[in-house]
Structure 1
Amino acid sequence: MKTIYTKAVLTLLLVAAFAMGCKKSDLTTVNPNAQTTQTFWQNSSDAVKGINAVYGSLIIDGSYMRFSPIVENTRGDDATSYSPWDQIYNMGKFNMQSTGDGVLFSWTAYYQGILRANEVLKYVPAINMDAELKKRVLGQAYFLRGLYYFHLADFYKNVPMPLVPAASSADYFQKQQPQDVVWAQVISDFKAAEGMLPTTYTGLSPDGQIGRATKGAAAAYLGKTYLFTKKYAEAAAEFKSVIDMGLYSLVPNYYDNFFANNENNAESIFEVQFSRDAGGTDLGWGGDPSSGWGRTSARAITFGAASFGFTDVQPTPALYNEYLQEKTTSGGTDPRLDVTMYYNKPGEKLYNQDFATRYAGSSSLNALFCHKYENGDSGQADEYDWRSGINERLMRYADVLLMYAECLNELGTTNDAYQYIQMVRNRVGLPNLATVKPGMSQAEMREQIGHERFLEFSLEGHRFDDIRRWGWLQDATKLAWLKARDPEFNTYTPGKEYLPIPLTEVQTNVGLVQNTGY
């Protein structure tokens, strides 16, 4: 957290030095041009501005603008990296160094968001404003703080956990907390959010509510946190509550979940809002936030196909082959394959150019490239799409259905899991699982759910979380299987399932201990 608070420390030191040379009358003079926490939090408009700033941490470099999708995707067996930049290339090979930007970026982004959420939670309660609006603002702050701590526990394991803004310089150096303590705080925050947030913002003031956290989002993430901590009964109850809301459904076309044509649809429970038409036009690639930054994503350019992007992340052959294991009821290929990746098939086009013609005579002709979250279908002239406006879908209803099925299986009601898995399979025309694989045991259903999740959520950042929480890295047979599918697992060693804590933080804060293996 040193990185976040450095400017605040310098400001305090400068103020102190200035004060020592001032007369008493000078010290009581308020600078009308300098806004402070004491002068900012005055009314409902300030409260809304404050919570909007907490959302802002979702769209910066270390978060979903670029690096969180890199961290989440490269370590699974659905994605690989041949990037020339070691900060991406080494991420999926479990070889990150504590000195790297790739480790620091996400740490900084999420603690920035936590600092902002803590300020909302401290100062908004004292504002005289509409009670329902205040409740919604605080509910969103709890949700976003829970989400940011979820990512920190998921990426780094044991982390500092400030819950209030720093009152003095001593507060900058928070003691590291065990992962289970952080998970407990995440659960607490999502619970608070669930009780305070509306199911929908339709008809609520102020306008512009699309993208805000809802009760359904809080319940879904609370269930996910319970699932990650193996509290299956509690997780099942939360997922069932989302299902019973009747607000969400699977969109008929799987494609509509990953492109700009149908954002914030009936399947989307929470998504990060990007736009080519909002904010400035500058690119927010690291550094201090600037008012000129756009509200755009770098995912399209980072994951983009050869000669259309940087090709820092690509689908694996294992993913391609697994899509071919089962035919649809009409005898076709699983349609999720073509939505997920570009490859050399008859008629394949990207940016209105023929795949085979564009890559003729090059190694790219037989390569696999990411399709999800890419602008290659848009036909726009700018092939190198540095400024993508495609929203990142963090929680889909399909995920709730499959997580609920997993809970049912773990609770010993395996037969009840079939119907929820089949809802996801039906959309892409796969046969009835209860017919093709009836009466599966609990262990067999675990394997089936692994397969279903692999294909439904490929390149969406879920696969490595699944691998780790299922204990596959500690299972010699499963680890050997992963190594055979994805050679990047050959460089995995125990402890490397988590990122190292940034070295600058360890050197500055005596309360931090580096993660095992680094």
Structure 2
Amino acid sequence: MKRIIVLIAIFSGLFFTSSCENELDLNNPNAVTVDQYWKTESDAQAGVNSIYAMFYKDGLWARWIYFRLDLTSDEGFSNSPWTELADWTRFNYINYNFWEGQVVTWRDTYKAVFRCNQVLANVPNITFQNEDDKKKIIAQAKFFRALHYYYAAILWENIPIVLEPSTPADLPAQKNVTEVFAQVEKDLNEAFADLPSSWSADQTGRPDKGAAKAFLAKVYMQQHKWAEAKTALEYLISGPGAKYNLVANYRDNFTDVNENNKESVFEIQFGDQKSGGTDEGQSAAVSSNRAQFFAPRGIGWSDGQARFWLVNAFKQEKNKDGNLDTRLRYTLYYPQLQADFGDKVYGKNWEWGNDEAWFRKGSRDYYRNNEDYYSQVNYRLVRYADILLRYAEVLNETGNTADAYQYVDLVRARVNMNTLAAAHPEIGNDHDKFLERLKTERVLELAGESVRWEDLKRWGDLNTQASVDKIALRDPDFKNFVVGKNQRLPIPQVEVQNNPNLKQHAEY
């Protein structure tokens, strides 16, 4: 049975917001103050649990971050009648204070960082019966501070690094993205030292050493630190953390039926036991809204769609039995889905345009006919298939192309595809050809899983007009992309106006 960590958000009045005015910084006589809190082990545990609660906020993994990571990439787009929302997935940034486009994600990112900093500043002063328990709490806070700064760096790049509990009067300095990544590395390495190799069943959902190494690999790869990334990935593949494997059924990664399985390196725990909003109240939801916003017309809001080139990419190669790649079936909705695989999604036949596609991962058509705001399907933020493909990429980048094939083949074998060498003998040991094919392999395995934007940035595909023009052939929104500008978001203008130490990116 799925286990949900019960999260208690107790710091609703203590969030970092640079735009707060001093005269609004009032004391609530009925609230527990910081000085009164942070006395016991239970205070510390509730404090770290409040960090997990940030996954359920609409600026982060409950809703809007998917628009930035999935729809802005060449895998997706928005055709929403809400024009400003759609414009923010096609690089038409006009109102830098657009709430849903970015301001709420910035806010919730720094709220999450603030909660981490509260734990890191106060828990060391609490006496524990078992010092290892204290170390685990501190390690979790470092892991999550790193996680949130990692995604902030992917989106905005040059941002403030806040490492102490904030006050409304603080004016944090802006740092270069290299400094942000360095802080992410530091936090993850320190977290790794004190996180356990695994947690007991009643603590499912907390990060372990493997999760720390996985995010270290990600941040190293974004900086092309291939040797360091190789070492981090080897911990998961052949080292002390080699406890992962691919599940036999590919779809088990995208439903609530077989969550926290052997393929999961780190996943966000969602539940449908509360039907509130995304506020700080006791009834606040712990659910995902993604399926509601990405569902086909007539099922959900349909504000996010998949690009149809993905369907064609899956159909370029048949499996060993001469049939279509089964990953297509569970990755996308598209007009020929029933003809290709016999699936009647959501229990009905739906009419779509011939060139329309929708993301299927995380949807609940396997047991219901519609979506809502309370999806309980966990989000696999990192799974082992991604680790294997990353390792293949690192080997290719370090001159070991021949050795990289086997890790791609493990992923292909799960869905009965031929070996990469048999299917594409033209690659040989050519670095560039292998990388180009690996870009496709990652799409076939990971489409719609919020990794494509960082992939495009890591590969340098957003750095030249020629490479952007190639992307635009499959995603017309990239005709709006300005090289040297749109690889990062503008900083919310309200933050720039309220903090003289924060400068808007020059290109904006």
- Structure 1 stretch 477-486 or stretch 503-512: which is displaced more? 477-486
Of 312, 321, 328, which residue of structure 1 is paired with 2:319? Answer: 328
Other-structure match for 2:414: 427
Q: Offset at 1:292?
A: 2.2
Q: Percent identity?
A: 35
Q: Which secondary structure state, in structure 2, belongs to the residue aligned with residue 61 of structure 1?
A: coil
CA distance in 1 between counterparts of 2:192 and 2:15 reads 31
Where 2:503 maps in the other structure, the secondary structure is: coil
The residue type paired with residue 64 of structure 2 is F
- Seen in structure 2, the aligned counterparts of structure 1 residues 135 and 2 have a Cα distance that, compared at 3 Å, is closer
Which one-letter code corresponds to 1:275 in the other structure? G
Q: Which of 169, 182, 193 is the matching residue for 1:195?
A: 193
Query: Following TM superposition, by how much is the alpha carbon of 1:144 offset from its aligned partner in structure 2, in angstroms?
Result: 0.1
> Are residues 1:179 and 2:182 paired?
no
Is 1:407 the counterpart of 2:406? The answer is no
Alpha-carbon contact 1:114-1:148 (below 8 Å) kept: yes
Determine if the alignment matches structure 1 residue 460 to structure 2 residue 449. yes
The residue type equivalent to 1:257 in the other structure is N
Q: Secondary structure of 1:517's partner?
A: coil
Deviations 1:162-208 (A, max 9, x none): 10113x554x21011111000000000110111110011127xxxx3
Deviation at 1:86, TM superposition (A): 3.2
Paired residue for 1:449, among 420, 433, 438?
438
User: Could you tell me which amino acid in structure 2 is paired with residue 151 of structure 1?
Assistant: Y
Q: Does 1:52 align with 2:46?
A: no
1:374-424 deviation per Cα after TM superposition (whole angstroms, max 9, x unaligned): 1122125xx242211111110111111111111111001111101111111
Which of these residues, 210, 217, 220, is aligned with residue 223 of structure 1? 217
Tell me how far 1:76 sits from its aligned partner: 1.5
* Paired position in structure 2 for 1:116: 115
Secondary structure of residue in 1 paired with 2:36: helix
State the match for 2:5 in structure 1: none
TM-superposed CA distance for 1:437, in Å, is: 3.1
Match of 1:499 in 2: 489
Q: Which residue of 2 aligns with 1:164?
A: 164
- Corresponding residue SS for 1:63: coil
The CA deviation at 1:516 is: 3.6
Q: Which amino acid aligns with 1:76?
A: S
The answer (yes or no) to whether the contact 2:18–2:171 under 8 Å persists in 1 is: no
CA distance in 1, matches of 2:399, 2:200: 39
Q: 1:364, 1:143 → 2: CA distance?
A: 44
Q: Distance in 2 between matches of 1:52 and 1:195?
A: 20
1:69 maps to which residue? 66
Q: Give the Cα–Cα distance (whole angstroms) in 1 for the partners of residues 21 and 39 of structure 2.
A: 21
Structure 1 CA distance for aligned equivalents of residues 32 and 319 of structure 2: 61
Q: Which whole-Å CA distance do the structure 1 matches of 2:469 and 2:421 have between them?
A: 30
User: Does residue 261 of structure 1 match 2:251?
Assistant: no
Structure 2 stretches lacking a partner, 5+ long: 1-13
Cα shift readout 1:298-346 (whole Å, capped 9, x = no counterpart): 1111001110011111111111100011110110111111101112232
Does structure 1 residue 490 correspond to structure 2 residue 475? no
Q: 1:460 to 1:87 in 2, by over 3 A?
A: farther
Matches of 2:22 and 2:180, distance apart in 1: 26
C-alpha distance after superposition, 1:350-392 (max 9, x if no partner): 2211x2xx42xxx547632221111122125xx2422111111
Out of 80, 103, 112, which is 1:83 matched to?
80
Q: How many angstroms does 1:283 deviate by?
A: 2.7
Kindly provide the amino acid, as one letter, of the partner of residue 134 in structure 2.
K
User: For residues 77 and 5 of structure 1, do their structure 2 counterparts lie closer, same or farther at Cα, with a shift above 3 Å needed?
Assistant: closer
Aligned-residue CA RMSD (Å): 1.9
Change over 3 Å in CA distance of 1:142–1:180 after alignment to 2: same
Cα displacement string for residues 36-68 of structure 1 (whole angstroms, at most 9, x for unaligned residues): 111111111111100000111112100000011
Paired position in structure 2 for 1:234: 228
1:121 aligned counterpart, secondary structure: helix
Matching residue's letter, 2:161: M
The answer on whether the counterparts of 2:62 and 2:289 sit within 8 Å (CA) in structure 1 is: yes
2:9: which partner in 1? none
Tell me the distance in 2 between the aligned counterparts of 1:455 and 1:498: 25
Q: Which structure's CA Rg is the greater one?
A: 1
For residues 61 and 116 of structure 2, the distance between their equivalents in structure 1, rounded to whole angstroms, comes to: 18
Residue 127 of structure 1: aligned partner: 126
The one-letter code matched in structure 1 to 2:247 is V
CA contact (8 A) 1:59 1:272 kept: no
Q: Which has the higher helix share?
A: 1
Q: Which moved more, 1:368-377 or 1:255-264?
A: 368-377
Question: Equivalent residue for 1:368?
Answer: 357
Match of 1:298 among 271, 274, 289: 289
Say whether the 8 Å CA contact 2:272–2:287 is kept in structure 1: yes
**Structure 2 counterpart of 1:107, one-letter code:** W
1:512 is matched with 502
Indicate the residue corresponding to 1:39 in structure 2.
36
1:319 equivalent among 290, 310, 322: 310
**Matched-pair contact (CA < 8 Å) for 1:74–1:91:** no
CA 59–10 in structure 1, closer or farther in 2 if over 3 Å, else same: farther
Q: SS state of the match for residue 395, structure 1?
A: strand
Q: 1:372 to 1:145 in 2, by over 3 A?
A: same
Distance 2:220 2:142 in 1: 17
1:10 to partner: Cα distance:
4.7
- The 3-state SS of whatever aligns with 1:92 is coil
Indicate if the aligned counterparts of 2:15 and 2:114 stay in contact, CA closer than 8 A.
Answer: no
Q: Distance in 1 between matches of 2:429 and 2:417?
A: 18
- Under a length normalisation based on structure 1, what TM-score does the superposition of the two structures give? 0.90
The residue that corresponds to 1:212 in the other structure is 206
Cα deviation for residue 132 of structure 1 reads: 1.1
Q: What is the aligned partner in structure 2 of residue 28 from structure 1?
A: none
1:419 alignment partner AA = Q
One-letter code aligned to 1:342: Y
